[in-house]
Structure 1
Amino acid sequence: MRVLFVGHGPAHVPWIVPLAWACRLAGHDVRVAVRPQCVAPVTRAGLVAVPVGDEAAAGAAARRQLALGPGRLQDSGASATALDADLAEALTEKMIAVADTLTDDLVAFARFWRPDIVVHDTAAAAGPVAAAVLKVPAVGHTWGVSLGVHCERAAELRPSYARLFERFGVEPLVGPSVWIDPCPPGLRPPHGVRRADMRYVPFAGPAEVPSWLRAPRPGGRPLVCVTGGVTTSALDEVRDQVVGALREQGAEVVLAVTAEQARTTGPLPDGVRLVASFPLDVLLAHCDALVHHGGVGSGLIAVTRGLPQLLLPRNAFQEHWAHLVRASGAGDALPAGATGDAVGTAVHGLLARPSYRERAAALRDEIDRMPAPDRLVGFLEDCVRAGHTDVSTPEKASR
């Protein structure tokens, strides 16, 4: 079986690596089609990358200005809901605009390589186009959130989506869709697309565990990780006050940054360490809590370790994810502009109240019960044999 994976941006590549490798280990041929800026992350994962599109054109489409500023974080008593309709609309049109710069190259490669199935990041709208041209099944793969380009009913067909298909002389793919989803049900808002659960397996590359991370901490002080994810400037404005608040709480602090950010980071105070381009799942195995910008990947990695988390979202989408985490009881969130005192109080609550860790552990157990990536390979094989995606999804596994 030939499986063509279609990725989105750099932060999305890690989500598709586990299933791509599961397909390889099952003996199938795999190619990963991505924008040029994503080629290096794919090849570092040991997979075969296919660059598609012009990076300048794709980047210009991706940089479209949207109303994504902070300010939507709801009251703590509000229940979790789907992403705001206007924000979801803007993000969907942005994804389609990026796809418009990629489809020519992607379809050309698909016609050359002839995959049996296309597994596409749900934000990568070019994937369904290639599948429609080749008349093979298309399966979505979420990046931890219920967001992506899809059309479940003819009445929902948007002109921009239809135009992606029309220039190749094929009918737009109109549902029912199926998405492989590694998000645990306790963090997953309702959505109209059918899901195929898959256990979340974090991937961030190789690492060497340093001796200081294995050593006992003086006085048993908690170790708290602070990160802005791959968006290196996400917490720059508040980093110093966050670190100060954590130190006042008696915590040891480790800053997880990119290699680029590490080069511009000045001297650090006592009790604060810095790691550059270090796999977050390895680091969090030794931590007691996580403070981060509201990234879905960072948040789910904390869940796999059963850690409470404090989210400091910097835009409306991160606020949506922060709201879901807070509503689950596995963490807390503060709006942009929160003071150091507020951060200190929130971190104290995370470390002192058992309920946060208990809820994080419950979500971790949900992940552990989800089918491992190798079981989703069988689902893809069934889709190829049937010629469509309306086949049974794997059942939840016993732990």
Structure 2
Amino acid sequence: MRVLFVGHGPAHVPWIIPLAWAARLAGHEVRVAVRPQCVAPVTRAGLVAVPIGDEEAAGAAAARQLGLGPGRLKSRGESVAALDPDLGDALIEKMIAVADTLTDDLVAFARFWRPDLVVHDTAAAAGQVAAAVLKVPAVGHTWGVSLGVHCESEAELRPSYARLFERFGVDPLIGPSVWIDPCPPGLRPPHPVRRADMRYVPYSGPAVLPDWLRAARESERPLVCVTGGVTTSALDRVRDQVVASLRELGADVVLAVTGAQAAEAERQLPHDVRLVADFPLDVLLAHCDALVHHGGVGSGLLAVTHRLPQLLLPQNAFQEHWAHLVRASGAGDALAAEPAGSDAGADVFDAVRDLLTRPGYRRRAAALKDEIDRMPAPARLVEFLEECVRAGHTEVPTAVRPAAPLSEDEEP
């Protein structure tokens, strides 16, 4: 079986790596089609990358201003079940605009290579076009959140979505979709698309384990990781305040940054704050006691896999949506973005002290990790993909039941 994986942006690529490797280990041929800026992460993972699209054109489409500024985070008493409809619609239109710059190259390669199946990042609508042109099954793969391009009925058909297919002379994919979803049910909002559960297997790149992570820590102080994920600049405005408040709390701090930002960050940090650059967050968090981050989905789920409490400092509306879900789950807390010039340190001090001293946060994170462990491994989903090819359609495996909610006396 030939499986064509189609990725979206740099933050999305790690999500599809485990299933792509599972397909390879099952003996199938795999190609991973991505924008040029994503080629290196794919090849570092030992997979075959297929560059598609012009990076300048794709980047221009991806850079569209959508009004993603912060300020939508509601009070602690208000929950959120789904992404703000206007924001969700704008994000989907942005995904379609990016796909429009990729479809020509992707369809050309698909016609040459003739895959039996297309597994596409749910943000990568170009994959749906290639599947329609070749008349093969298309299966979505979420990037931890229930958001992506889909069309469940004629009434939902977007003109921009239809145009992606029209220039290739094929009908747009309309009808029940299926998304492979590695997000545990306890962090998953309701969504009309059927989901095929897959165990979350973190992938954050290769590393050489440094000496300080090869032995027990001498310090008895809690170790707190601070990161902005692959977009580390997301926390630049409040980073110094966050680090200062953690040191005042008596915690050891490790700052995880990208290689491009390491030199500047190192010049500004106190001598007792450890800096790691381009180091897999999954490996680092195995040695930490808590995580403070920008509200990234990948960072948040990595904390869950290590049963760590987390504090989210969302810097845009989409990150606020994820912060809502984490806070509602009881596995962490979130602070609204502070106005420019304000002091976030005191709030961070109180919030992290709460995370480290109240066991309910860690207990709820552990419950979410148990949900992940009960989900089918990627190898099982390869069997599902094989069935899709044999049947020409998709059947969703039985969903894993979410863990029971905590009782009131168990809340953090």
| Fold equivalence (TM over 0.5) | yes
Map 1:169-318 → 2, pairs under 5 A: 169-265=169-265, 266-318=267-319
Q: Distance in 1 between matches of 2:258 and 2:396?
A: 41
Letter in 2 for 1:128: Q
User: How far apart are 1:39 and its partner, in Å?
Assistant: 0.7
Q: Cα distance, 1:393 vs. partner?
A: 1.8
The CA distance in 2 between the partners of 1:184 and 1:221, in whole Å, is: 31
TM-score of the pair, normalised by structure 1: 0.97
Question: Which whole-Å CA distance do the structure 2 matches of 1:352 and 1:24 have between them?
Answer: 44
- 1:332·1:346 contact (CA, 8 Å) conserved in 2? yes
Q: 1:69 to 1:395 in 2, by over 3 A?
A: closer
Post-superposition CA distance 1:258-283 (Å, at most 9, x none): 11110222153243100111111110
Asked if 2 retains the 8 angstrom alpha-carbon contact of 1:257 and 1:277, the reply is yes
Helix, strand or coil at the partner of 2:255:
strand
Identify unmatched segments of 5+ residues in structure 1.
none
Q: Deviations over 1:232-291 (max 9, x none)?
A: 211011111100000111000000011111022215324310011111111000000000
- Rounded to whole Å, the distance in 2 between the matches of 1:210 and 1:41 is 21
Match of 1:103?
103
| Residue identity opposite 2:382 in structure 1 | V
**Is 1:129 the equivalent of 2:133?**
no
Unaligned runs of 5+ in 2: 402-412
Q: Does the CA contact (< 8 Å) of 1:139 and 1:179 recur in 2?
A: yes
Aligned with residue 391 of structure 2, among 354, 361, 386: 386
Match of 1:358 among 337, 360, 363: 363
One-letter identity of the residue aligned with 1:331: G
How far apart are residue 128 of structure 1 and its match? 0.5
Give the paired residue count.
396
Percent sequence identity over matched residues?
A: 81
Query: Does the Cα contact within 8 Å between 2:197 and 2:376 map onto a contact in 1?
Result: yes
Amino acid across the alignment from 2:113: W
Residue identity in the other structure for 1:373? P
Partner of 1:256, secondary structure, is strand
The correspondence for 2:353, drawn from 348, 357, 374, is 348
Residue pair 1:310, 1:332 contacting (<8 A) in 2 also: yes
Distance 2:3 2:107 in 1: 14
Contact 2:180–2:197, Cα closer than 8 Å, also in 1: yes
- For the pair 1:41 / 2:46, whether they are aligned, the reply is no
What secondary structure is seen at the aligned counterpart in 2 of 1:33?
strand
> What value does the CA root-mean-square deviation take over the aligned residues?
1.2
1:18 paired residue number: 18
- SS of the equivalent of 1:320 reads helix
Secondary structure of the residue aligned to 2:232 is coil
The secondary structure found in structure 1 opposite 2:149 is coil
Which residue does the alignment assign to 1:325?
A: 326
Moved over 3 A (4+): 214-219, 394-397
- Answer yes or no: is the 8 Å Cα contact 2:323–2:334 preserved in 1: yes
- Aligned position for 2:143: 143
TM-score, structure 2 normalization: 0.94
Paired letter, 1:165: F
Partners of 1:342 and 1:29 in 2: CA distance: 51
Between the aligned partners of 1:267 and 1:77, the Cα distance in structure 2 is 38
Provide, for residues 27-64 of structure 1, a one-character-per-residue CA deviation record: whole Å limited to 9, x for no partner. 00000001111111111110000011111111100000
Q: Per-residue deviation at 1:326? A: 0.4
Taking the aligned partners of 2:397 and 2:171, their CA distance within structure 1 comes to 26
Tell me the distance in 2 between the aligned counterparts of 1:213 and 1:219: 13
Partner of 2:93: 93
Q: Contact 2:259 / 2:278 at 8 angstroms: preserved in 1?
A: yes
Q: Using the alignment, how far apart are the partners of 1:45 and 1:211 within structure 2?
A: 24
CA–CA distance in 1 between the matches of 2:81 and 2:400?
25
Tell me the CA shift for residue 212 of structure 1: 1.7
**Aligned equivalents of 2:315, 2:155: Cα separation in 1:** 35
Q: Matched residues in 1 for 2:364 and 2:215: separation?
A: 28
For the residues of structure 1 that align with 2:396 and 2:183, how far apart are their CA atoms? 19
Instruction: Decide whether the 8 Å contact of 1:371 with 1:395 is kept in 2.
Output: no
Shift of 1:80: 2.6
Find the counterpart in structure 2 of residue 75 from structure 1.
75
SS of the residue 1:236 aligns to: helix
Alpha-carbon separation, structure 2, partners of 1:21 and 1:282: 19
Task: Check conservation: 1:225, 1:290, Cα contact below 8 A.
Answer: yes
Q: Secondary structure at the match of 2:195?
A: strand
Larger mean Cα displacement after TM superposition, 208-217 or 114-123: 208-217
Q: Distance in 2 between matches of 1:380 and 1:73?
A: 38
- Residue 205 of structure 1: how far off its partner (Å): 1.5
Choose from 379, 392, 395 the match for 1:374. 379
Query: Counterpart of 2:406?
Result: none
In structure 1, C-alpha distance between the alignment counterparts of 2:317 and 2:399, rounded to whole Å: 34
The aligned counterpart of 1:119 is 119
